[in-house]
Amino acid sequence: MQAVEIKQGIYWVGAIDWSMRSFHGYQTGRGTTYNAYLIIDDKITLIDTVKEAFAPELLARIKSVIDPSKIDYIVSSHVEPDHSGAIPFMLEHAPQARVITTLPNGEKGLTGRYGQLPLQGVKAGDSLNIGSRTLQFVPTPMLHWPDSMVTYCPEEKILFSNDAFGEHLASSGRYDDEVDYGTLLFECQKYYANILMLYGRQAQTALKALSGLEINLIATGHGVIWRKHIKDIMACYEKWSAGEMEERAVVVFDSMWHSTEKMARAVAEGFAQRGIAVGFYDIKENHMSDIVTDLMTAKYLAVGSPTINNQMMPTIAAFLCYLKGLAPKGKKAFAFGSYGWGGQSIGQVEEELKACGCEIVLDKIRVANVPSDEDLAAIAAKMNF
């Protein structure tokens, strides 16, 4: 295991998790990386660690450059264990190192998780001279944990951004221009949608704080290091955090005997007839983390469910629960579904859409039993919002 020099005296020493397929429910089809960076200066500094299981890989990469016992500082940008998990392990190998973390939240989080550690707290505006370089700490609270921060090195013009601007993508290339750009942007959008969508306001604050910095590398906590497309990814974050949407629709449904599915097709047709592009998702065949990725920049959402045991389908309930947590802004939505008797699910879906913060633009569409050709034609005709 070798370190990768990204600037003279600065090394990527992270780990590649090729096989990771679920990040607490977020489906990560292309694996991920846990990025850590080693800065060789008067004071040797490690920016972040890796998930605990990958600690030996981190150590091996560090050892390819220096004796780990020489590390003076470990910067903990974020307490979540995919970045902090190997801190106790590293402290065994670097017993004199101090762990830099935000006050009070990083200190509280690390102590709560790992017990007493040799901590050194920092606040907004604090910096640390490590020799020929300075590390400036910029707390980014709730992006996406209370303790989160990024670190800027002005002498190198590197932003160590941790979760921000990252993506779950395992690759042998370490840079944005060494992977397929379309795949990279998709994974970045998926990451933002599933991890950061709830925190758009905090993302805007962070972008403002970073706007005056000259940056020629964004060394992220996951995925690739940005060197070619820095302006592009920052522009994406501006757009996503502002909640900008396109004239597109997402249709999500479950179906037992294809009646709600037929209605979903009629809804998709209704959007298409209005020139609105549609993402069409049978919840049984698509993962919700992919659906919210598409939905993030779509203006319209239609959700369909038949009724089972007086409830909406549990699959749709899970999707709406997930969506409510992500708190999308400004979606125009409606509910639809077929039913045998009762038909409570459609009203339940409508109520959940309201709870998600959606504006209901069309009264719920209910069809008993099997929709006729007339019922289906009427759906498209109703969609005149």
Q: Assess 261 for contact with ligand FEO (CB under 6 A).
A: no
Query: What SS3 class is residue 78?
Result: coil
CA neighbor of 302 nearest in space, from 343, 261, 273: 261
The CB-of-168 to ligand FEO minimum distance in angstroms stands at 9
Q: Cα(177)–Cα(113) distance, rounded to whole angstroms?
A: 37
Binding mask 71-100 toward ligand FEO (x if CB under 6 A, else -) reads -------x-x-xx-----------------
Our CB check for ligand FEO shows the closer of 144 and 364 to be 144
Q: Indicate the helix (H) or strand (E) that contains 141.
A: none
Q: How far is the CB of 355 from ligand FEO (least distance, A)?
A: 26
Q: Please name the residues in contact with 252: beta carbons below 8 A apart, sequence gap of 6 or more.
A: 281, 283, 291, 301, 302, 303, 304, 316, 319
What sign does the dihedral 48-52-58-63 (CA atoms) show? Answer: positive
Amino acid residing at 184: L
Least CB distance from residue 176 to ligand FEO, whole Å? 18
Is the Cβ–Cβ distance between 376 and 266 less than 8 Å?
yes
With CB under 6 A as the contact rule, the residue among 51, 190, 222, 262 that binds ligand FEO is 222
Asked if 287 is an active-site residue, the reply is no
CB 239 within 8 A of CB 308: no
C-beta of 11 vs 145, nearer to ligand FEO: 145
CB of 85 to ligand FEO, least distance (A): 10
Nearest residue to ligand FEO on Cβ basis: 80
Q: Which of 41, 48, 82, 352 is catalytic?
A: 82
Catalytic residue, from 191, 237, 281, 339: name it.
Answer: 191
* Residue 147 within binding range of ligand FEO, rule CB under 6 A: no
Q: List the one residue from 139, 221, 223, 306 that touches ligand FEO (CB under 6 A).
A: 221
Site for ligand FEO in 283-312 (CB under 6 A): none
* Dihedral class, residue 310 (left if φ above 0, else alpha if ψ from -120 to 50, else beta): left
Residue 5: what are its φ and ψ, rounded to 5°? Answer: -75, 120
Active site residue 237: no
Q: In whole angstroms, what is the distance from residue 156 CA to residue 136 CA?
A: 12
Q: Which x/- pattern over 159-188 shows residues binding ligand FEO (rule: CB under 6 A)? A: ----x-------------------------
Beta-ladder partners of 249: 278, 300
Residue nearer to ligand FEO on the CB measure, 80 or 350: 80
Going from the C-alpha of 193 to that of each of 183, 247, 291, the distances in angstroms are 15, 18, 10
Smaller CB distance to ligand FEO: residue 76 or 307?
Answer: 76
| Residue among 48 and 350 whose Cβ is closer to ligand FEO | 48
The set of catalytic residues is 24, 78, 80, 82, 144, 163, 191, 222
